[in-house]
A and B are shown apart, each in its own frame.
Chain A
């Protein structure tokens, strides 16, 4: 990949688009699941980007950020954007079981976003399992993981067995090395995690089971997957199904999100050509005076409304 696709990494357009799709989706089922009254739980780090969106878009007040790093805890305390954000020190593996027992967190839906920067591991499988089994009804669980091959096992032939060790009988016996190549692995992992979540919900006899709601694959340096589902009450099942299976639902894009890094000038020039009925060609981009790959143009056309706009602020 040429280096200009990597610069401006800090702006992370794909990450931003994926976040916007998720919160847009959550907004559209907010009233059915009573999410206004929910508790947002995530890994806010020191940036709290998702916490900001949860507060602005879903009007969530009560939020918990899990932070395992000692210095990170201090910095999180300093940087937390709202008074109602509680920093919970410890690793998700220790914190989640505690939260599941905390009396005052029960009886209201949770929106949990486990935005790991790591790949699937024993700990993340445990986290997913305990949330799916025991989170209050009408909760939503989102999981983001690194899906690069090397993070599962360096040797591709070891990957199916490694996935079997992690996800057990959910993994089909015929899962092959080809399903676990660098280019196929993100889709495979996304599918397996979704299957795992549904199966855990069924095995735990959750009255509303789990309704899959998000499956997004994007690149943020490494290939990343976000998988999410709703844990509806029995009464909310059909609403959750209707929304997530409707034509307008953005949670299951057919292709990976590969939005290009653009300068503000490029983005503005492209945007002035949109929306349009016939799709934007590479030729017309060249006519605008610059150039992009076909897939990048397609992705921009699809997601331009979700594009981040950044400006440099000097204080």
Chain B
């Protein structure tokens, strides 16, 4: 007879590390580290809901990131991790159930820093300097990943040692012995520039409040979001709160026209700017979903058509904030939203109204494109922060004109000849469609003269 015993269900460290680093991109790991810094800054500056019109001053805070093929460092002056927090929380994998949520934080799962560090390299050093009763105090945690993995004991702890102070209270994470693929990504100028663009976009709300983020010595500019206003166009801006068991979620929904719909639906004419449009979702200030045109933000679900290039020009943003970040609809990678979240699904109903209004407009404008264009050209770009409250997205009514019979002209020409002709018309960057129209107008006036 076999005696009952326990099966060992503890995961091995190696398995665990592989698992947590596999399903997140390098870019998102770096954003996780920035989130930690920002949480520190936000807490120090009072920790209130991150509404669009909140003007908390973050200009004393700075995050510097250096990513080279040899080394990755991120250093901030956002207050640091206290020794108590380090012992109790910062180096455990995942939050303990008893932890109280930080006020209006973005870091919610307690895994960001460790996951990022393991993803990036093998020789990790974290120095934290924090304000204690008698002035600044510091400690350091050094992790040599292969050694830590090889130690097969049940003990998953990291050693904390004393350290000299950083210049001001903050955290410095440095990683050496980078994994090959990471080192190679950091050698790509395009990767670094795209990372800078993502940071500028996803932290636009923080950068606007004065936070500086530097990447390889270059200060990152925040993304400016503007919607067109006037001449019949009035963006929607609604604010409400969603009461839940664990607390309150503040929600703001804005939607409007960021640019007129495209002149043509030819792929070459659409490329520029097409990737800016769609829905944006921010959770406690951090944009977690950008320019979304998929069913995540509702397109193609419940009586809502699939995204079509005809709808280009539409831009909407939903800002969720809550003292308790676990109520927010963000996923662990913070690169999407949890579509099963009630908070999000309730917001989506309002998003749908705005989207459908835009869809209707892009259909109606086909009846009288010239009339629509006149309206569109008169509308003025306004920063999303200056948009007044309005319950609906207002669009001009386009009067349908008596129809003139039209003929479509469609032809292909070698690309370099089209570019040369565009240059001849005075702008090498002119769209193919405009080159075609100009050619027609020019020949018409030469050969036919005035109508």
Q: Which A residues lie at the B interface, using CB under 8 A?
A: 121-123, 152-155, 158, 161-162, 165, 168-170, 172-173, 195-196, 198-199, 202-203, 205, 209
Contacts and interface: CB of A to CB of B under 8 A. Distances in A.
A199 B189 contact: yes
Given A121-B416, A202-B184, A209-B184, A170 B429 contact: no
Given A122-B415, A154-B423, A205-B181, A195 B189 contact: yes
A169 B428 contact: no
B415 to A, nearest CB: 6
Given A169-B194, A205-B181, A153 B428 contact: yes
A170 B190 contact: yes
A189 to B, nearest CB: 14
B274 to A, nearest CB: 14
Contacts, number: 57
A5 B427 CA distance: 34
B185 interface: yes
A196 B184 CA distance: 14
Interface in B178-193: 181, 184-185, 187-191, 193
B373 interface: no
Contacts of B427: 155, 158
8 contacts: A121-B416, A152-B428, A158-B427, A169-B190, A169-B197, A202-B184, A209-B184, A209-B187
Given A173-B221, A199-B189, 4 more contacts: A153-B429, A195-B189, A198-B188, A202-B191
A202 B197 CA distance: 18
Contact of B189 (A121, A122, A153, A198): A198
A152 B189 CA distance: 22
B245 to A, nearest CB: 44
A154 B415 CA distance: 18
B438 to A, nearest CB: 16
Contacts of B416: 121-123
Interface string B400-420: 000000000000000110010
A209 B184 CA distance: 7
What 6 pairs across the A-B complex have the smallest Cβ distances?
Answer: A199-B190, A202-B188, A195-B189, A153-B428, A199-B188, A170-B190
Contacts of A199: 188-191
B187 A198 contact: yes
Q: For chain B, what secondary structure do more than half of its interface residues adopt (helix, strand, loop), or is it mixed?
A: helix
Contacts of B187: 198, 202, 209
Interface of B: 181, 184-185, 187-191, 193-194, 197, 221, 272, 415-416, 419, 423, 426-429
Nearest to A211: B187
A245 to B, nearest CB: 13
A162 B427 CA distance: 10
Contact of B428 (A158, A168, A205): A158
A172 B429 CA distance: 18
Contacts of A209: 184, 187
Contacts of A169: 190, 193-194, 197
Contacts of A196: 190
A195 B428 contact: no
B188 A165 contact: no
A210 B185 CA distance: 12
Contacts of A152: 428
Nearest to A209: B184
Given A121-B416, A202-B184, A165 B189 contact: no
Contacts of A161: 429
Contacts of B193: 169-170, 172-173
Contacts of B191: 199, 202-203
A162 B416 CA distance: 13
Nearest to A202: B188
Contacts of B190: 168-170, 195-196, 199, 202-203
Task: From A158, A169, A202, name the one whose CB has the most chain B CB atoms within 10 angstroms.
Answer: A202
B157 to A, nearest CB: 36
B47 to A, nearest CB: 32
Given A199-B189, A203-B188, A205-B181, A165 B194 contact: no
